[in-house]
Amino acid sequence: MNIHPTAIIHPKAELDDDVVVGPYSVIGEHVRIGQGTQVGPHVCIEGWTDIGRQCRISSFASIGAPPQHLQYQDEPTHVLIGDHNIIREYVTINRGTSFGGGHTTLGHHNFLMAYVHIAHDCQLGNHIIMANAATLAGHITLGSYTVIGGLVGIHQYVRVGDYAMVGGCSAVGKDVPPFVRAVGGAGGYRAKLFGVNALGLRRHGFSKDQIGSLKSAYDLLFRKGYRVTEAAKLARNMFPHSQDVLSLVTFLESSTRGICRSIGKNIKEYES
């Protein structure tokens, strides 16, 4: 281990081989940090926090602080962080609540840019990018390979599906399905759906046929005027062999907050 002499490490904290801790950082009693993780200067890691291998945590990040919730009563709740995550300056990740599952989780290979906030009980997958000052309220779920733009605010209990993209400065109050794009519209700040995230899907190796099926399903689900239950049934019948479409339909059927609305039928020019 490479621990700067000004860092304060609780004697019961568990730090694996090759962990680096920079000047003036503070590591609490119940913290565990995996092999090769680098903790920069002036970082505070507290509470019941587990951090995996080969993570990079930059200056002034705060991980494992108590949840910002008036009902929290100092219960031993957790932050669980996987491997190969990049956590940049001033990122804040709060612990879970006992009434919300007890865990705030971050998977593997995620990139959290400066000033990102992840509130209590959020569940984040893998390969997520959150740009500067993107903010998650409590109990939010982000699927894998999602991209959240800078200055985005997402309301509590909202879900964002796999491979979705939310444009910068959007306010998201309802679920964003997988494989789509959402952004705040000119007619209001609330995010609306802007079609399939075709460019992002191509970058992740989706075939032309896969993307074509998703575009056709999107038209059916969001542009034809059907009710969700009716459109979901039609999509299942029309695309029985597309796991992507079935995942999209399942997401819609399981929504409890409702789905962000599409901007309408005439947005073909926005798709690529």
Tell whether 7 and 134 lie within a shared domain: yes
Q: What pLDDT is recorded for position 264? A: 63
CATH number at residue 34: 2.160.10.10
Tell whether 247 and 124 lie within a shared domain: no
Tell whether 101 and 14 lie within a shared domain: yes
What is the C-alpha to C-alpha distance for residues 151 and 113, in angstroms, rounded to an integer?
11
Per-run averaged pLDDT (10 residues), the chain, 272 residues: 96 96 98 98 98 98 98 96 98 98 98 98 98 98 98 96 96 96 72 96 98 97 93 96 98 96 61 50
Q: Which domain holds residue 211?
A: 201-270
Tell whether 15 and 135 lie within a shared domain: yes
Evaluate whether 116 touches 98 at the Cβ level (below 8 Å).
no
What is the C-alpha to C-alpha distance for residues 189 and 225, in angstroms, rounded to an integer?
23
For 150, the token pair is: 């800078």
Q: What pLDDT is recorded for position 270? A: 46
Neighbours of 9 (CB within 10 A): 21
For 131, the token pair is: 């740009």
Tell whether 133 and 206 lie within a shared domain: no
pTM above 0.75, yes or no: yes
Q: What pLDDT is recorded for position 263? A: 81
Tell whether 9 and 102 lie within a shared domain: yes
For 5, the token pair is: 């002499």
Q: What pLDDT is recorded for position 235? A: 97
> Containing H/E element for 248?
helix 243-253
Q: Indicate the number of domains in the chain.
A: 2
208 inside domain? yes
What is the C-alpha to C-alpha distance for residues 133 and 130, in angstroms, rounded to an integer?
8
What is the C-alpha to C-alpha distance for residues 168 and 171, in angstroms, rounded to an integer?
9
Contacts of 268 (CB under 8 A, 6+ apart): none
> What is the layout of strands, in order, in the sheet containing 92-94?
8-9, 26-27, 44-45, 62-65, 92-94, 117-118, 135-136, 153-154, 171-172
What is the C-alpha to C-alpha distance for residues 219 and 248, in angstroms, rounded to an integer?
13
205 inside domain? yes
Evaluate whether 107 touches 132 at the Cβ level (below 8 Å).
no
53 inside domain? yes
The residue among 94, 113, 139 that closes a domain is 139
Coil, helix or strand for 80? strand
Give catalytic residue positions: 120-121, 138
226 inside domain? yes
CATH number at residue 266: 1.20.1180.10
